[in-house]
Amino acid sequence: MAKYCIAIFTYLLLIANPGLTEEHQDWSVEHWGKVTFGTRIFLDDPAHQGQKGDNFSLTFEPTIYSESAEGNSFTFTPFIMIDSVDSERTHVDIREAYYLTFGSMGESEWELRIGIDQVFWGTAESHNPVNVINQTDYVVHPNGESKLGQPMIHGTLAGDWGMLDAFILPYHRPRTFPGIKGRFRTALPVQTSRKTIRYASSKGRNHIDLAARYSNSLGALDFGVSYFDGTSRDPRLVPNPLPLPPDFNEPVPREWIQHYDLIKQFGLDLQLTLGAFLGKAEWITREEIKADNTRSRSHVSVLGGEYAIYGIFESEADLTLFAEWNHDTGGQSLLQDDLFFAARYSFNDILDTDITVALIDDRDFDTKTLNIEFNRRLSDSFSLTVEAFKFLEDDPGDITSQQIVNDEYVALDLSFSY
Amino acid sequence: MKYITVRGFQHDGKNPTNRRKSMAQLILQRLVSPGRLGIALFIVPFLIATASVQGVNAQSEVEKGLEIAQKARDADRGFENFIAEMVMILRNKQGQENKRSLRIKVMEVSGDGNMSLFVFDNPRDVKGTALLIHGHLDKSDDQWLYLPALKRVKRISSSNRSGSFVGSEFAYEDLGSLEVEKYTYKWLRDEKCGDLDCTVTEYKPSEKGSGYTRMLLWHDKDELRVWKIEYYDRKNAHLKTLVHEDYEQYLDQYWRSKRSNMVNHITGKSTEILWDQIQFRTDLNEGEFTKTGLRRVR
């Protein structure tokens, strides 16, 4: 916590005292950010003991950016979330705090980023198995799109031959999970205390992970080939205390403990851009190595595409259709054999109004979920998001999704950007 | 002098590649086929007589149109690069305003279309969103979008040429440079535009996906600046009119309008563009127009 306080203090100092930065006249300083007031209204009573109902939240994500005349820069983005109900959702993170320098070397250009940063890999919409660098900040939104900042040294070399990114990742961030009072959790809560987290590596969270990705565009095809060797971002959840044979009911587990195995993951991501059609694919194969050195292998793939109909019904609006098939042999994600269908209607009006309807159909069980999201700008600074999540069908045999079957909600987010 | 290469053919404006066959050539080609030869022999002298008069006129109108387009293009060649700031004021029928502000960088590429980078500063919720375009002469442009909230570089389709750019009255195809190879031309007439002598030329988009059947462009004869463009939609109805004002010259050669207004005659909406901080031949680097450069945008 102390380091966060120092970080926030530094940020406030920099804003409040521009004189600090004006001393270095060739470094310009800019800042911007976003404050979001959110509320989630749950349609059902909570299913699990200790869970509460509707909640309010306030998030603040400011960025301070300083750039030298040569283009070298320092970016600092803390993230603060306060939740009225869940103490685990109330949290602070540093999304970005890195120094960037770049230059050219003959026909190629190079780039070096040192510090905390976020990196996105992937092409799909429903799930990005190749996106392995950053840990998921799950408490922000169950869609898993929010990521925690990751300390790294990130070097890039790019030229006519493509782009090569190499990473040294010296520190592991465990996933965030809702607390006892929070929604979108399993019946047993996940223990988030750092002391309880188990690592397959003897170096624990200080294991140095390595990663690299080569990417290129060849005509209509954009592709990336990636490799990751280090501690998994996906925890394996183990009950605590462990129920013992012969009677598996004793002792009764009271929580899940996060176990992070070592993995070696090879990934491939593709996008084919053919007019209004985008074909997309992601595939990973990974070997998981547990603390006792037992090994297993799994494959995760996403295959699909999107098709846009521009100026539909002779209007300014666009309709974009998405379809993706998710497959996971290891069961690390909820999407083991699931179809994703979505349609986005973009009005292309002055207020950038759009509405997206998404359906996920689990082919293993009779589980179907529906997501509706509406976005609209209210003014130059204010914007509104309304979102709804609902089970169309819930299969009692689908144990995983049964955990969140009472968490259908309508959410409203009002954001102020400056 | 930079040359533009079209499918390996190098020309400097003096050798038009897309010159249409003259009317006389076409008629002769159709008549001189077996079976029709008899009739052809009989009426050829008459046809040649009339066709040559009309044909020469048609050709000269087409050639004159092409010449205007090439001269306008040549006048704007060799700028190397420029940067600018742009404010778009979107107005609806009731006069309500909405602003977009963006930074623009453009780099000339020898032998291909220009590369452009658009970075949004306003509205604030899209601050840092950037669009990279690699223009091409002989195929569709390549476009990538950078979404700062997700840190995601996404290749996007460039087939939405007729779609609105950020809710404005400008379509994507109105913002790109008018590549000579992507239109066919016809000079229509000379007329006064304000105090200047202008030519009126019809541009017909030859690429699929354009929202227009044709455009009429008013160029002044002295400097070949565009003062007005009328856009005709797919049903050939007069859809929009763009007027350029406040031209300023840079580096004693390149003219840029600092104020443009696009009016949509069907919806009554309009978009005004105000340019500021225009600078030519800056120390822009090609590296800023790559996917790596796009990631660095703030």
| Helix/strand/coil for A410 | strand
What is chain B's alpha carbon radius of gyration, rounded to the nearest angstrom? 22
On the question of pLDDT at B26 being above 50, the answer is no
| Beta bridge mates, A367 | A362
Mean pLDDT (chain B, rounded)? 81
Tell me the torsion sign for CA atoms B7, B10, B12, B14. negative
User: Who wins on pLDDT, A323 or B286?
Assistant: A323
**Cβ proximity of B225 and B244 under 8 Å:** yes
**Cβ proximity of A56 and A36 under 8 Å:** no
**What is the rounded CA–CA span in Å between residue A185 and residue A51?**
9
Q: In b/e form, how buried is each residue of A116-143, taking b as 16+ CB within 10 angstroms?
A: bbbbbbbbbbbbbbbbbbbbbbbbbebe
pLDDT band of A7, cuts 50, 70, 90: low
Domain assignment present for residue A21? The answer is: no
**Cβ proximity of B226 and B215 under 8 Å:** no
Q: How many residues does chain A have?
A: 418
CA angle centred on A383, ends B176 and A181, rounded to 5°: 135
Per CB-CB distance under 8 Å, the chain A contacts of B290 are 109, 158
* Mean pLDDT, residues B37-61: 50
Other CB atoms within a 10 A radius of the CB of residue A192 amount to 19
The structural domain count of chain B equals 2
Domain assignment present for residue A263? The answer is: yes
**Cβ proximity of A379 and A368 under 8 Å:** no
Do B159 and B49 share a structural domain? no
Question: Residue B292 is nearest to which of A158, A222, A351, comparing CB atoms?
Answer: A158
Q: How many residues does chain B have?
A: 298
On the question of pLDDT at B39 being above 50, the answer is no
pLDDT band of B59, cuts 50, 70, 90: low
On the question of pLDDT at B174 being above 70, the answer is yes
Residues 6+ apart with CB under 8 A from A373: A355, A356, A358, A385, A386, A387, A388
How many angstroms away from the CA of B161 is the closest CA of chain A?
9
Do B29 and B152 share a structural domain? no
How many angstroms away from the CA of A310 is the closest CA of chain B?
6
* Mean pLDDT, residues B198-219: 91
CATH number for position A406: 2.40.160.10
Tell whether A65 is within 8 A of chain B (Cβ).
yes
Residues 6+ apart with CB under 8 A from B208: none
User: Who wins on pLDDT, A395 or A95?
Assistant: A95
CA B294 to chain centre: 24
Pick the residue of A111, A221, A273 with the most B CBs within 10 A to test the interface with B by mutation: A273
Residue of B nearest to A117 (CA): B151
**What is the rounded CA–CA span in Å between residue B143 and residue A40?**
37
* Mean pLDDT, residues B161-186: 85
CA A22 to chain centre: 36
Domain assignment present for residue A24? The answer is: no
How many angstroms away from the CA of B291 is the closest CA of chain A?
9
Tell whether A45 is within 8 A of chain B (Cβ).
no
Give percent of chain B above pLDDT 90.
50
pLDDT attached to residue A25 = 63
**Amino acid at position A381, single letter:** S
Q: Classify residue A180 as left (phi > 0), alpha (psi -120 to 50) or beta.
A: alpha
pLDDT attached to residue B17 = 34
Tell whether B1 is within 8 A of chain A (Cβ).
no
User: Who wins on pLDDT, A224 or B287?
Assistant: A224
Q: What is the pLDDT of residues B242-267, one digit of tens each?
A: 999 999 999 998 999 999 999 999 99
pLDDT attached to residue A155 = 97
Tokens of A208: 């140095």
How many angstroms away from the CA of A159 is the closest CA of chain B?
9
Q: Can you give the pTM of this predicted structure?
A: 0.83
Residues 6+ apart with CB under 8 A from A402: A394, A395, A396
**What is the rounded CA–CA span in Å between residue A224 and residue A201?**
28
pLDDT band of B47, cuts 50, 70, 90: very low
* Domain boundaries, position A410: 2-16+31-417
Q: What is the pLDDT of residues A114-141, one digit of tens each?
A: 999 999 999 999 999 999 999 999 999 9
**Cβ proximity of A125 and A306 under 8 Å:** yes
Task: Annotate A207-227 with DSSP letters as a single string.
Answer: --EEEEEEEEEETTEEEEEEE
Domain assignment present for residue A23? The answer is: no
Pick the residue of B93, B160, B168, B234 with the most A CBs within 10 A to test the interface with A by mutation: B160
Single residue among B51, B75, B99 that ends a domain in this structure: B75
Do B145 and B228 share a structural domain? yes
| Angle of the B37-75 helix axis to the B23-31 helix axis, nearest 10 | 150
N- to C-terminal Cα separation, chain B: 34
* Mean pLDDT, residues B73-82: 88
Tell whether B195 is within 8 A of chain A (Cβ).
no
Do strands B196-205 and B212-220 pair parallel, antiparallel, or not at all (unpaired)? antiparallel
Per CB-CB distance under 8 Å, the chain B contacts of A27 are none
The kind and range of the H/E element at A197 are: none
* Domain boundaries, position B49: 4-8+17-75
Winning range, highest mean pLDDT, from A16-25, A344-353, B18-27: A344-353
Do B188 and B123 share a structural domain? yes
On the question of pLDDT at A3 being above 80, the answer is no
Do B286 and B188 share a structural domain? yes
CATH number for position B85: 2.50.20.10
pLDDT attached to residue A256 = 93
| Beta bridge mates, A74 | A66, A99
Domain assignment present for residue A26? The answer is: no
| Beta bridge mates, B275 | B86
* Mean pLDDT, residues A267-290: 95
CA angle centred on B167, ends B182 and B147, rounded to 5°: 90
**Amino acid at position B269, single letter:** K
pLDDT attached to residue B139 = 82
Domain assignment present for residue A300? The answer is: yes
| Helix/strand/coil for A291 | coil
pLDDT attached to residue A11 = 56
* Mean pLDDT, residues B77-105: 92
Q: What is the pLDDT of residues A322-355, one digit of tens each?
A: 999 999 887 656 678 899 999 999 998 888 999 9
On the question of pLDDT at B9 being above 80, the answer is no
Do B280 and B150 share a structural domain? yes
Do B25 and B51 share a structural domain? yes
pLDDT attached to residue B169 = 92
Give percent of chain A above pLDDT 70.
93
Tell whether A70 is within 8 A of chain B (Cβ).
no
CA angle centred on A220, ends A312 and B134, rounded to 5°: 85
Single residue among B75, B96, B116 that ends a domain in this structure: B75
Mean pLDDT (chain A, rounded)? 90
pLDDT attached to residue A332 = 58
Do B102 and B161 share a structural domain? yes
Residues 6+ apart with CB under 8 A from B109: B115, B135
Do B136 and B231 share a structural domain? yes
Q: What is the pLDDT of residues B122-172, one digit of tens each?
A: 999 999 999 999 988 888 888 999 999 889 999 998 888 888 888 899 998
Residue of B19, B41, B16, B15 lying closest to B28 (CA atoms): B41
Domain assignment present for residue A335? The answer is: yes
pLDDT attached to residue A24 = 53
User: Who wins on pLDDT, B37 or B68?
Assistant: B68
Per CB-CB distance under 8 Å, the chain B contacts of A61 are none
Tell me the torsion sign for CA atoms A348, A354, A359, A360. positive
**What is the rounded CA–CA span in Å between residue B117 and residue B129?**
11
Do B138 and B68 share a structural domain? no
**Cβ proximity of A322 and A290 under 8 Å:** no
Single residue among B41, B60, B75 that ends a domain in this structure: B75
* Mean pLDDT, residues A146-173: 96
**Amino acid at position B16, single letter:** P
The structural domain count of chain A equals 1
| Residue B173 φ/ψ, nearest 5 degrees | -70, -20
Do B225 and B125 share a structural domain? yes
How many angstroms away from the CA of A235 is the closest CA of chain B?
23
Question: Residue B167 is nearest to which of A123, A215, A352, comparing CB atoms?
Answer: A352
On the question of pLDDT at A43 being above 70, the answer is yes
pLDDT attached to residue B48 = 44
| Residue B39 φ/ψ, nearest 5 degrees | -65, -40
Do B127 and B273 share a structural domain? yes
Tell whether A321 is within 8 A of chain B (Cβ).
no
Residue of A277, A278, A297 lying closest to A287 (CA atoms): A297
N- to C-terminal Cα separation, chain A: 27
pLDDT attached to residue A10 = 56
pLDDT attached to residue A131 = 96
Domain assignment present for residue A407? The answer is: yes
